[in-house]
């Protein structure tokens, strides 16, 4: 490819990204997936962009972000769509009919909120974990990504992002655990973990 052609194709790619907005993934076994996404929400709100944060699995959790984002409600809307935690039995996730029903409802709700909206940033927190529990398919996640308005960025979080999602994303970050206070018996700390 000559230089001129290559420059043209880079330009087209840049234009595409500018028009369509970026797809970002925060994954990995370390802490920081959700909080990094919240950091982007703060940044976007600072530029007066409308932000929608939908939290899957999480429900009825009194997190600090839920409270502090009330101060920024003009720009940032945050909703917990889950019912708490997935239960475990003999060390394995124990998925109930309620979990399945909730996953369906949250997918339909998210779809409606994203389609024809004017959000500049959409955060689908823990959505990759719904996939890990087989409560939603990759196809459905792609459907949500494609429903976002033109120019809007979208951030997906959750551990073990599959290659198929990594392939379609523009920025993928893997949080890698080096150590966690939990291993010293220190339980979830207010202001750090929630």
Q: Is 67 in the site for ligand ATP (CB under 6 A)?
A: no
Distances from the Cα of 41 to the Cαs of 88, 124, 173, in angstroms? 32, 12, 17
For residues 55 and 194, the answer to whether their CB atoms sit within 8 Å is: no
Residue 193 is a binding residue for ligand ATP (CB under 6 A):
yes
* DSSP-based three-state secondary structure for 55: strand
Beta partners for 123?
Answer: 53, 155
**According to the binding rule CB under 5 A, does residue 33 interact with Mg ion?**
yes
**Identified binder of Mg ion from the candidate list 25, 26, 28, 34, rule CB under 5 A:** 34
Instruction: Specify which residues 76 forms β-bridges with.
Output: 51
Q: Tell me which of 17, 20, 22, 31 binds ligand ATP, using CB under 6 A.
A: 31
Restricting to residues 124-163, name those near ligand ATP by CB under 6 A: 157, 159
142 binds, among ligand ATP, Mg ion, none (CB under 5 to 8 A by kind): none
Interface with ligand ATP includes 104 (CB under 6 A)?
Answer: no
- From 6, 15, 108, 177, residue interacting with ligand ATP (rule: CB under 6 A): 177
Question: How many angstroms separate the CA atoms of 15 and 23, rounded?
Answer: 15
Residue 93 touches ligand ATP, criterion: CB under 6 A? no
Q: How far apart are CA 174 and CA 194, in angstroms?
A: 21
Structural contact between residues 136 and 168, judged by C-beta atoms closer than 8 angstroms: no
Binding residues with ligand ATP: total (CB under 6 A): 13
Residue 59 touching ligand ATP (CB under 6 A): no
């Amino acid at each position: 490819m000559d230089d001129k052609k290559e420059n043209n194709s880079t330009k087209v790619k840049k234009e595409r990204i500018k028009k369509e907005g970026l797809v970002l993934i925060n994954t990995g076994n370390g802490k920081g997936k959700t909080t990094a996404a919240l950091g982007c929400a703060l940044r976007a709100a600072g530029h007066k962009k409308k932000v929608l944060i939908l939290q899957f699995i999480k429900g009825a959790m009194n997190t600090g972000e839920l409270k502090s984002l009330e101060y920024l409600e003009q720009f940032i809307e945050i909703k917990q769509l889950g019912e708490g935690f997935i239960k475990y039995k003999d060390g394995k996730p124990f998925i109930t009919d309620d979990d399945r029903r909730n996953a369906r409802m949250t997918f339909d709700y998210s779809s409606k909120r994203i389609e024809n909206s004017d959000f500049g940033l959409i955060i689908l927190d823990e959505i990759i974990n719904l996939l890990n529990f087989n409560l939603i398919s990759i196809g459905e996640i792609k459907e949500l990504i494609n429903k976002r308005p033109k120019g809007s960025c979208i951030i997906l979080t959750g551990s073990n992002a599959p290659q198929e999602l990594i392939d379609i994303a523009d920025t993928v970050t893997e949080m890698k655990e080096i150590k966690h206070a939990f291993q010293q018996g220190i339980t979830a700390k207010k202001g750090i973990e929630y």
